[in-house]
Amino acid sequence: MTVLVIGLGGVTNGGKTTLAEKLKKMLPNCDTMSQDDFFKPESEVETDECGFKLYDVLDALYMDEMVKSIRNWMKSPASSAVVTEEPQSTCDKLKNTEDVYILIVEGFLLYNYEPLNELWDRRYFLTLPYEECKRRRSTRVYQPADGPGYFDGHVWPMYLKYKNEVEENASNIVYLDGTKSQEELLSCVYSDIIQELKKLRE
């Protein structure tokens, strides 16, 4: 059995979820997991001196639960209730994929937590310039909603802080330009994963 755990990290509103869902449809026995599902309840998230809720930090998430969930999936991916339709375009490129299982984990803080870093087979990081990220973020509705100044006061500074940490400490990360079309990003990541699968099966 071949198990592949893929990280799809990076900036808020960079297109991580969309990319993960599209890849799921194209890859054999593919499941997805979202870091957003591991947020602590609002009452447990700290507030800074400016009154901003500190959501964009590791302490706002149940990270140990996330690691446990990924490890559980790795132990028995076949029982994770993934219903895979016939992948749209894998069949010709990869023969005999019954024993291949892929988990795509998407989130904004994937590579800054050491216990997670032991699990990745491939890591991708989506980036966006400030103006585009702010524009996209302003079109989304969050619970709780972004208050005035929240993006500039908390979201963007935290993104830059964690991105710098990743660049300094993590290797083998493929950086992706989130301003490219979804088709371009999908094609790039998909072909990279197919190459990785071929290597694993040689």
- CATH code of the domain containing 172: 3.40.50.300
Structural domain for 194, as ranges: 2-77+99-200
**pTM of the entire predicted model:** 0.90
Q: What amino acid positions are annotated as catalytic residues?
A: 36
User: Which structure tokens are listed for 132?
Assistant: 């585009």
**Structural domains of the chain, count:** 1
pLDDT, tens digit, for every residue of 127-183? Answer: 999 999 999 999 888 877 788 899 999 999 999 999 999 999 878 899 999 999 999
27 within a domain of the structure (yes/no): yes
Q: CA distances (Å), 119 to each of 70, 73, 114, 152, in order? A: 8, 11, 10, 32
31 within a domain of the structure (yes/no): yes
Q: Are the C-beta atoms of residues 88 and 28 closer than 8 Å to each other?
A: no
108 within a domain of the structure (yes/no): yes
178 within a domain of the structure (yes/no): yes
84 within a domain of the structure (yes/no): no
119 within a domain of the structure (yes/no): yes
Which residues make Cβ contacts (< 8 Å) with residue 91, sequence separation at least 6?
none
Half-sphere exposure at residue 178, Cβ-oriented, CA atoms within 13 angstroms: 23
More confident residue, 91 or 29: 29
130 within a domain of the structure (yes/no): yes
pLDDT for 200 equals: 79
- Kindly indicate the confidence band of residue 202, based on its pLDDT and cuts at 50, 70 and 90: confident
pLDDT, tens digit, for every residue of 77-109? Answer: 877 655 445 555 544 556 666 788 999 999 999
pLDDT for 91 equals: 47
